[in-house]
Amino acid sequence: MAGIRALIVLIGIAFLAGCATTSQPNVRAATKSYSGPHVTRVVVFKEKRRLHLLSGDKVVKSYDFGMGFAPVGDKKIEGDGKTPEGRYTIDRKNPNSRYYLSVGLSYPNARDIAEARALGKSAGGDIFIHGTPDPRSQRGDWTWGCLAVQNSEIEEIFSMVDVGTVIDLYP
């Protein structure tokens, strides 16, 4: 019985540690406010390496980005280093991301899962727009399929984009 209690206590401690804030800058950035026009859509042009935040048809802000280490083509399977193409939504925000801050995409969708299954593989998941763990060393295409921007830029994106916003990714 004492062994079970000890196990429960250890699991509780691990859970609480996982929920802890990792650094003060993320908390500050996550609470940054934005009072400009409502961002209604995110548009990404992979070949041009440009991400645009739109309010209606007007571009509010644009960013350069790095992406997956195999940037050409649509993501098909987990680990292929490609960034997805198609229509998704912003489905979560993580103020305690390993990559400073992150905004999650609803990848994979039903089509992505079906394509990967047809290949006998997993579609993967956890595709984000995020910052960098070390801004001085992360340049170019280095992610596993995510879009990486500078930390000051993800602070803006994090504050401007709401969960539920549509994101279109083009080749």
For the stretch 67-98, pLDDT in tens is 999 999 999 999 999 999 999 999 999 999 99
Domain ranges of the chain: 2-170
Q: What confidence score (pLDDT) does residue 137 get?
A: 63
Most confident of 6-10, 27-31, 82-86: 82-86
Q: How sure is the predictor about 48, in pLDDT bands with cuts at 50, 70 and 90? A: very high
CATH code linked to domain 2-170: 2.40.440.10
For the stretch 49-58, pLDDT in tens is 999 999 999 9
Percent of the chain with pLDDT over 90: 71
Distances (CA, A) of 44 to 31, 62, 120, 136, 164: 25, 10, 29, 24, 16
Q: What is the pTM of this model?
A: 0.79
Which residues lie below 8 Å from residue 81, measured CB to CB, with a gap of 6+?
68, 69, 70, 71, 143, 144, 145
